[in-house]
Amino acid sequence: EAQVTQNPRYLITVTGKKLTVTCSQNMNHEYMSWYRQDPGLGLRQIYYSMNVEVTDKGDVPEGYKVSRKEKRNFPLILESPSPNQTSLYFCASRTSDSRGTDTQYFGPGTRLTVL
């Protein structure tokens, strides 16, 4: 089954304790993204990656890191989480298409609470 998986699904942590949210896709997609979703603000892109070893900042990258060492995996790293990073996070993947016809597939989401 084609899917994007994320772990963990729920996480409660404390300020400053480094954490990693994993994301994996089995569709051989080149393009992967991380979004955060906050009430009234919709989905905002944090980082994206066009392919292995190619990453770029989205609209809200501050406080986050990513890496793309393998095509299927795109972990999100919070080196020193703060309460304003409490949010619902989605990983997504899609093919790269210069016409913009590619469909994004979203993971189930990770609800993060930083105390």
Partner 1 sequence: QQPVQSPQAVILREGEDAVINCSSSKALYSVHWYRQKHGEAPVFLMILLKGGEQKGHEKISASFNEKKQQSSLYLTASQLSYSGTYFCGLPQGYGQNFVFGPGTRLSVLP
Residues lying near partner 1 in the complex (CB under 8 A) are found at 33, 35, 40-45, 48, 50, 56, 58-59, 90, 96-101, 103-109
CB nearer to partner 1: give 41 or 115.
41
CB nearer to partner 1: give 15 or 23.
23
Q: How far is the CB of 102 from partner 1 (least distance, A)?
A: 8
Q: Based on DSSP, count helices (H) and strands (E) in the chain, helices before strands.
A: 0, 11
Q: How far is the CB of 78 from partner 1 (least distance, A)?
A: 20
CB nearer to partner 1: give 2 or 14.
2
CA 82, CA 58: separation in Å to the nearest integer?
19
CA angle 45, 87, 67 (to 5 degrees): 50
Query: HSE on the CB side for 99, CA within 13 Å?
Result: 3
Give residue 58's region: left, alpha or beta (phi > 0; psi -120 to 50): beta
Query: HSE on the CB side for 75, CA within 13 Å?
Result: 13
Q: How far is the CB of 96 from partner 1 (least distance, A)?
A: 7
CB nearer to partner 1: give 81 or 107.
107
Q: How far is the CB of 54 from partner 1 (least distance, A)?
A: 9
